[in-house]
Amino acid sequence: MVSQKKNPLLYTELSSWWLLFTPTEEYQEEAAFYTKLFVEKSASPPRTLLELGSGGGNNASFMKNNFQMTLVDRSEDMIQVSQNQNPKCEHIIGDMRTVRLNRLFDGVFIHDAVAYMKSEQDLYDAMRTAYVHCRVGGIALFAPDFVRETFQPSTSHGGIDGAGRGIRYLEFAI
């Protein structure tokens, strides 16, 4: 089992707040864009997709209509959030740097969780995981929130109210 001690509180004991913090609806347009990339750039129609660092499964909520999805996250609590949203998807607890499923997929997707890679070695290991799971001719898509070449300092905010409770956040990207 993956240690929960290294996961942020939002991904463990506060995971029940996840969908208030980052509502699934906010991922619809983005997930459509990623789906389009997988479909248009694949040599043959992609059927299977592995998402590493899938979190609460917000992207999968939309992408599962186009692919048979396997979702991997190191947080058992976030896997539970995703299972509630995506009960027909396969869920596996594992670290994107080290998980080995011994099978190939038409596509491998790492969304913003790639930002948790703290060193070049961590990033290399995550990329290696994508490589060993991507069939020849398949596509690996990495979609970080920020990259050095285009980064602009900013602030943002969000959150919503839900059944008797709500959450708000203020984010500084500096």
Q: Residue ranges per domain, the chain?
A: 9-147
The DSSP-derived string for the chain is ---STTS-GGGTTTGGGHHHHS-GGGGHHHHHHHHHHHHHH-SS---EEEEES-TT-TTHHHHTTTSEEEEEES-HHHHHHHHHH-TTSEEEE--TTT---S--EEEEEE-GGGGG--SHHHHHHHHHHHHHHEEEEEEEEE--S--GGG---EEEEE--EETTEE--EEEEE-
Q: How confident is the model at residue 9 (pLDDT cuts 50, 70, 90)?
A: confident
| Fold category of 9-147 in CATH | Rossmann fold (3.40.50)
pTM for the predicted model, two decimal places: 0.87
Given this model, what pLDDT does residue 4 score? 42
pLDDT digits (tens, 9 = 90+) for 108-129: 999 999 988 999 999 999 999 9
pLDDT higher than threshold 80 for residue 151: no
